[in-house]
Amino acid sequence: MTEQKTAIVTGAGTGIGKSVATALLKGGWNTVFCGRRKPLLDAAIAEIGPTEARALAVACDISKAGEVDDLFETVAEAFGRVDLLFNNAGMGYKSTPIDEIPVEVWNDIVGVNLTGSFLCARAAFGAMRKQKPMGGRIINNGSVSAYAPRPGSVPYTATKHAITGLTKTLALDGRPYDIACGQIDIGNALTDMAQPMTVGVPQANGSISAEAVMDVQRVADAVLHMASLPLDANVLFMTVMATKMPFVGRG
């Protein structure tokens, strides 16, 4: 049962975040749509129409500790507790050799993908540890790049490898507090960000090739499954990918 449970989804204005937040809301979760651009969040909620569960749009730059604290205070006031965090917000950069990647780009990607995930997990862990009944679930959005990099993707791949470390440590540290932590690693879900996959992207052998993609709804279904488990069970890692994309044997 998800009645009266509250979920926070970061990066919920577009793509995977929007799809997952929509699925949670329709599945009976009070759902906080979080992102930097409030008009996108409001539009995402408006598209869904009436639901039994409540939706709330909160603008937040997750790379800023103060804004994350404000987000969780707002959620506590609105719903009283946090049962699920989907740490989804992230950013990438065009395929580029490391010596041509501006330091500012590195800092921005680390700030969102890693520091932002840390700040949100930190706030969620604190809330889940103190609330009654105690506990909750954190699901981190990893990537196939958490295991197998694409060419020219140093900042993105480094942060996604780090997310795996965050997931494993939270899964361990959460045990005494009934806090479960898992990771979903997604390959080629068709969003605006993944649109270039359908045209052609750099491959490990130096070629440019189009890749298979899958409906983003498959990701939403998978996250909903992970979220629906009782807290005595956890999907630690799940890979959901387009069946025919290069991953097994990549490179």
Active site residues: 156
Q: In 3-state terms, the chain is what percent helix, strand and coil (to 5)?
A: 45, 20, 35
Looking only at the bridges linking them, the beta strands covering 84-87 and 6-10 are: parallel
Burial class (CB in 10 A: 0-12, 13-18, 19+), 97: exposed
Check: CB of residue 141 under 8 Å from CB of residue 90.
Answer: yes
Q: Tell me if 245 sits within 8 A of 188, measured CB to CB.
A: yes
CA 40 to the chain's CA centroid:
17
DSSP secondary structure code for residue 141 in this structure: E
In DSSP terms, 237 is beta-bridged to 183
Helices (H), the chain: 15-26, 38-48, 65-79, 103-109, 117-130, 154-173, 217-228
**DSSP strand E in 133-178: where?**
136-141
DSSP lists the bridge partners of residue 190 as 215
